[in-house]
Every structure is written in C-alpha cells, then in structure tokens.
Structure 1
Amino acid sequence: MVKRFKRQEYARYKKLGDKWRKPRGRTSKMRRYEAGKPDMPAIGYGSPKNTRNLHPSGYKDVLVRNLKELENLDPATEAARISSSIGKNKKSQMLEKASELGIKVLNK
C-alpha cells in the first residue's frame, strides 16, 4: 500500500486539493518536520523493489505495437497494453492472438 501524502493546508483551502506539493515557505511548520503536521515524502516510504513499476494486477506493463511484439511476451510475468494508434481491425486480430497465447491484455 502506497502512502498518500497530503499538500500543506489542503484542508484549509478546497482549491488546493490533495495533490502533493513540496512546502517551500520560510516559516513552514511542515517543511521543518514539526510534530502534528502531515508527513512529507522520504526515501523510507519507497515500495519494495520486487513490486516496483508493476501494474496493480502484478504483471509488467508492456506497450505492444504489432503482432510480432505480442508474440515475444512472457505470459507468466508480462501483460500487453495495445498501442492507441492501432486500428480496430488489427486490434481484434491482436486480441485473438493474445487469447491463443494466454497473454493478459490491459486495455481490451
């Protein structure tokens, strides 16, 4: 589970939203890591190396542009994401081939 860091004073102003921004103010309590303030991102919060950069399904996300690239995938560890520039006809062919080879397609 990845920790979601909150922006400084996100609760005070609705327009700020929850998206993280580094506090840069001279007197910022959050920047100075004072107690009672939200946590800031640090190296210790990193995800484990073996799960880093994986799709939530657990597969490695690989962009595929043609049938040859699709055939080179390892179905045990890699999942295909078909390029958006592929047309409807080619995409249907690629989906058929993927089901034959047992490859998971992330954007059907």
Structure 2
Amino acid sequence: MAPKKKVEDVEAPVKEAKAEKKQPAPKKAAKAPAKKAEPKAKAPAKHEKPKKKAEPKAEEKPVEKKEEPVAEEEKPKKTFTMTKPRPLPRPVEKSTLDLDEETRRLLGARKTNKASLPEFNRIDSHKNKSLKLSWRKPKGHHSQLRRQRKAKGSLVKVGFGSPAAVRGLHSSGYEEVLVHRPQDIQGITKTQAIRVAGGVGRKKQAEIEKAAKELNIKVLNPLNTFEEV
C-alpha cells in the first residue's frame, strides 16, 4: 500500500492561495479633475424672429371720457296685498272764528259735561238686532225704563242738555249748515260752516269742496285721504 500523505502537506498550498486573495489591490493614481465644458450659445430657432430694439414710446394724449346718461332708478313694483288702505286722520285746523270769552267758557263746559253723560239707547236694542241704538221714548204700560228702574238705564231729561247759548253749535263755534250740491254754498256767512250730506257721492263732494275753498268757507267733513299700500 502507498504511504498516506500528511495532512499538513495538503493544507499548506490552500492557505497560501487564500492569503493571496485577501491582499488589497494597489490603489490607482488619482485622475486630474476634468475641466467643465463651457455652455455653447444656443442657435436661434428657425421659426423665431430676431427681436427688434425697443423704440421710445410717444406720449399718449389723455382720452376724454364721455359722460354716459345716468339711467333712472326703477321703482320697485308693488306687491299684491289683500289689505285695504286705511283712511289717514284728518288734520285738525284751528278755528279762525273770533269768539267772546263767555262763548268759549260755555263750549268748554259743554265738552266736560258731555263726557260724563250716560248712553241714551233705545230700550232692548241690545237684545234685538232689528232695533237701532237711536233713542226712542218708552211708552209701554209695563216698561221698566219708563218707570225709571235704575238697572234699565237713564231717561232723557232737560237737565242733561247743553247751555242754550251754544246749543247746536259745532265744537269750533261755527253754526252748521247741511249742503247737498255746490249751489247750496251761496249765501253762507263767516260764522257758518258747511257739512256735506251723507248721501252725496265723492265726485259731487269734490266739487263742493272746490267751490268752498274759493269762497274761503270751512268744510266740517272733508273727503278722506288714504294711506298707500
């Protein structure tokens, strides 16, 4: 049999080969820094036109602006409402009538006395709708008002009346004259004032008021002026 080789003789060349591989490679010499290439000027494109030098601008004259006509503001349209216009309160005109002191005193006393008077209504007018409130003298044999029962109300008596000197006069001191047409105004004095009758229409009442204004006559019940809705 061949003699066995020693283990040390076999491992020696393997270790030498590994040691050679581990040795670092020699460093290469550092290269000199390369110069940067200068950027080349771009050639003008074919479709681009060469720019012209800017010319000095001429001084522009101020343009006068024409004033446009201002349009009128449109008024807002009134919306439809079911509410009816209410009559405005009539202006209270001071009386231009010259009254003596006694007449003024009696008018003031009548005003205070009328404020404390009871209501003289027709008997049972609050029970029956067909009966109006206007006063009627009770004449029934069993009428409790005629017998002056206190709970039934007050009877009309002489003591409730106003002073005789100012009886029938308006609170301003004028004497009232009922008028139905414009021709009735003729012959009215300065101490009198007209009252248009309730059955006169608005058209004729406007004519009466126009004629009264020309003659400087006072109208006690002029036409109503209504508020805008």
TM-score band, normalised by shorter chain:
0.5 to 0.7
1:14 alignment partner, SS class: coil
Q: Residue 142 of structure 2: which of 24, 27, 33 is its match?
A: 27
Match in the other structure for 1:104:
218
Match in the other structure for 1:79:
193
How far residue 52 of structure 1 moved from its aligned partner, in angstroms, is 0.7
Uncovered stretches (5+) of structure 2, i.e. residues with no partner: 1-113, 223-229
Superposed CA deviations along residues 58-103 of structure 1, whole A, max 9, x for unmatched, are 2112468465x24xx23xx432458x89xx4x974552231xxxx4
1:79 alignment partner, SS class: strand
Matched, 1:9 2:124: yes
> Aligned letter for 2:218?
K
Percent same amino acid among aligned pairs? Answer: 36
Root mean square deviation, CA, Å: 3.3
Q: Residue 48 of structure 1: which of 159, 163, 167 is its match?
A: 163
Uncovered stretches (5+) of structure 1, i.e. residues with no partner: none
> Aligned letter for 1:34?
R
Structure number with higher strand proportion: 1
Which has the higher mean CA deviation after the structures are superposed, 6-15 or 30-39? 6-15
Which structure is larger by alpha-carbon Rg, 1 or 2?
A: 2
Give the distance between the partners of 2:215 and 2:175, measured in 1 at CA: 19
Superposed CA deviations along residues 13-37 of structure 1, whole A, max 9, x for unmatched, are 2221312112111111111112321
Q: 2:176 touches 2:195 (CA, 8 Å); kept in 1? A: yes
Give the distance between the partners of 2:118 and 2:163, measured in 1 at CA: 13
> Aligned letter for 2:168?
N
4+ residue segments displaced more than 4 Å: none
Number of matched pairs: 98
Give the distance between the partners of 2:136 and 2:155, measured in 1 at CA: 10
Give the distance between the partners of 1:43 and 1:106, measured in 2 at CA: 28
Q: Residue 59 of structure 1: which of 157, 165, 174 is its match?
A: 174
How far residue 105 of structure 1 moved from its aligned partner, in angstroms, is 3.4
